[in-house]
C-alpha cells in the first residue's frame, strides 16, 4: 500500500476511533513480516503521541490460516492478562472501508529480537537470563487451558498431519541432494508418533526472532502469532530448541545461547513438570525447517522470491536431517 495513501487512511481511522478531528498520523513505515503486512506509525492526539503497528493480510489471498489477522488478534487479546507477555490490541475489525481488508492494531513496543545485531553481540553470561525468560514464557503459554483461552479453536490437531503436510514442499526442493535424507526422517517420525501428546495453545513459530526484549534484556512480548493453534505444545519446545542446537547447523549458531539441556531444564522448572523425551519434537522441528529451507531455496533460485540468505541456510539441510535421525534413535 502506498505510504501516502495509508497515512490518509490511518488518519481518518484514528480520528474516528479517538473522537479527535485533529488527530495526526506520521512516520508510516513497512515493518518485517511473513504471513501478512505490518506497518508502523505514530498517532498524535490531544497532546500525546503513541507508536502503533497495523497488521493486515496480504492482498489477493484467502483470509484464513496465517492470513486471518482477526484470529491473530483474538489470541493476543486473550493472552493479555496472563503470564505470557504480548502487545496490547488497540483496535481490530472486519470493516474493509478503512484498509481494504480486516485489520488489527497494537501498541508499538521499543525492543529488539535476538536475531538483531544487538542479540548476536550478547555474550553467554548476558544471554543466559534473557534466554531463560523465553523458556518461562513458553511454559506459561503451555500451562493455559485451551478450553478457556481458545475454546473455538479445538479440538487439538493430530500429530501425523504435521509430518505429512510437508510432502508437497519436499517434492519441490531447490536441491534434491540436500534433502536426500528427508524421506528416511519422515518414515521414522511416523513410526515413532508420541502416543499421548500434551494438548494446549501453541505459538507455532516460537523462536528467537519472535521474542522481543528491551535493550536491558527484559522480555517485552512474544510476537508474530500467525501460526498459533491448539495441539501438541511440545512442538514449540522442539522448535526453539532446534534453533539453539549447534549440532543441527553446519554453520553453527549466531548467538551465544545456553545449551539445549539447560533450556529444557528451565522450561521444565517453569512448567512444573518434566516434558519427558522431546527427541521426537526436536526431530520434527529439524525435519520441517530442512524441508522449508529446501523449498525456499527453490523459490530463490527460480526468481520467484529472491533471497540470497537461503543459499547459506540450505547448507545445513543435510545436518538437520542427520540430527533428526540421531534424535529419533
Domain ranges of the chain: 3-107, 112-327
User: What's the rounded Cα separation, in Å, for the pair 253 and 274?
Assistant: 26
pLDDT for 36 equals: 54
For residue range 235-278, what is the model confidence (pLDDT) as tens digits?
A: 999 999 999 999 999 877 777 899 999 999 999 999 999 998 89
For residue range 76-85, what is the model confidence (pLDDT) as tens digits?
A: 999 999 999 9
Main-chain dihedrals φ then ψ at residue 222, nearest 5 degrees: -90, 130
Q: What does CATH list as the number for 112-327?
A: 3.90.1200.10
Across the beta sheet with 219-222, the strand order is 112-113, 211-213, 219-222
User: What's the rounded Cα separation, in Å, for the pair 202 and 75?
Assistant: 11
Helices (H), ranges, the chain: 3-18, 69-78, 117-120, 124-143, 146-149, 160-164, 167-170, 182-191, 234-242, 260-271, 279-301, 309-313, 317-327
CATH superfamily label, 3-107: Phosphorylase Kinase; domain 1 (3.30.200.20)
For residue 103, the SS3 value is strand
How large a percentage of the chain has pLDDT more than 70? 99
pLDDT for 307 equals: 92
Packing angle of the helix pair 234-242, 260-271 (nearest 10 deg): 150
User: What's the rounded Cα separation, in Å, for the pair 170 and 3?
Assistant: 38
pLDDT for 35 equals: 43
- Residue ranges in the chain whose pLDDT is less than 50: 35
pLDDT for 33 equals: 56
Chain Cα centroid distance, residue 182? 23
User: What's the rounded Cα separation, in Å, for the pair 253 and 298?
Assistant: 24
Amino acid at each position: 500500500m502506498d505510504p501516502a495513501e495509508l497515512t490518509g487512511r490511518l488518519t481518518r481511522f484514528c480520528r474516528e476511533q479517538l473522537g479527535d478531528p485533529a488527530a495526526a498520523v506520521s512516520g508510516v513505515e513497512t515493518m518485517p513480516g511473513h504471513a501478512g503486512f505490518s506497518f508502523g506509525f505514530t498517532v498524535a492526539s490531544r497532546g500525546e503521541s503513541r507508536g502503533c503497528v497495523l497488521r493486515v493480510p496480504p492482498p489477493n489471498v484467502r483470509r484464513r490460516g496465517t492470513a486471518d489477522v482477526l484470529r491473530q488478534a483474538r489470541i493476543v487479546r486473550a493472552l493479555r492478562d496472563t503470564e505470557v507477555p504480548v502487545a496490547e490490541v488497540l483496535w481490530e475489525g472486519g470493516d474493509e472501508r478503512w484498509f481494504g481488508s480486516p485489520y488489527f492494531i497494537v501498541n508499538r513496543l521499543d525492543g529488539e529480537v535476538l536475531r538483531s545485531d544487538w542479540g548476536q553481540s550478547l555474550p553467554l553470561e548476558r544471554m543466559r537470563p534473557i534466554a531463560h525468560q523465553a523458556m518461562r514464557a513458553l511454559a506459561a503459554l503451555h500451562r493455559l487451558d485451551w478450553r478457556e483461552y481458545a475454546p473455538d479453536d479445538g479440538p487439538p490437531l493430530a500429530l501425523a498431519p504435521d509430518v505429512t503436510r510437508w510432502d508437497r514442499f519436499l517434492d519441490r526442493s531447490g536441491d534434491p541432494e540436500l534433502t536426500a535424507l528427508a524421506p528416511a526422517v519422515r518414515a521414522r517420525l511416523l513410526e515413532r508418533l508420541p502416543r499421548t501428546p500434551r494438548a494446549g495453545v501453541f505459538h507455532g513459530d516460537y523462536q528467537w526472532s519472535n521474542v522481543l526484549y528491551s535493550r536491558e534484556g527484559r522480555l517485552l512480548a512474544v510476537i508474530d502469532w500467525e501460526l498459533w493453534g491448539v495441539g501438541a505444545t511440545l512442538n514449540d519446545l522442539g522448535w526453539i530448541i532446534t534453533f539453539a542446537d549447534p549440532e543441527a547447523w553446519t554453520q553453527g549458531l549466531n548467538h551465544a545461547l545456553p545449551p539445549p539441556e539447560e533450556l529444557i531444564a528451565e522450561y521444565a522448572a517453569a512448567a512444573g513438570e518434566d516434558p519427558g523425551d522431546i527427541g521426537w519434537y526436536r526431530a520434527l522441528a529439524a525435519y520441517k525447517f530442512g524441508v522449508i529451507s529446501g523449498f525456499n531455496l527453490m523459490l530463490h533460485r527460480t526468481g520467484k522470491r529472491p533471497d540470497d540468505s537461503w543459499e547459506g541456510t540450505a547448507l545445513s539441510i543435510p545436518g538437520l536431517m542427520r540430527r533428526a535421525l540421531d534424535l529419533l534413535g
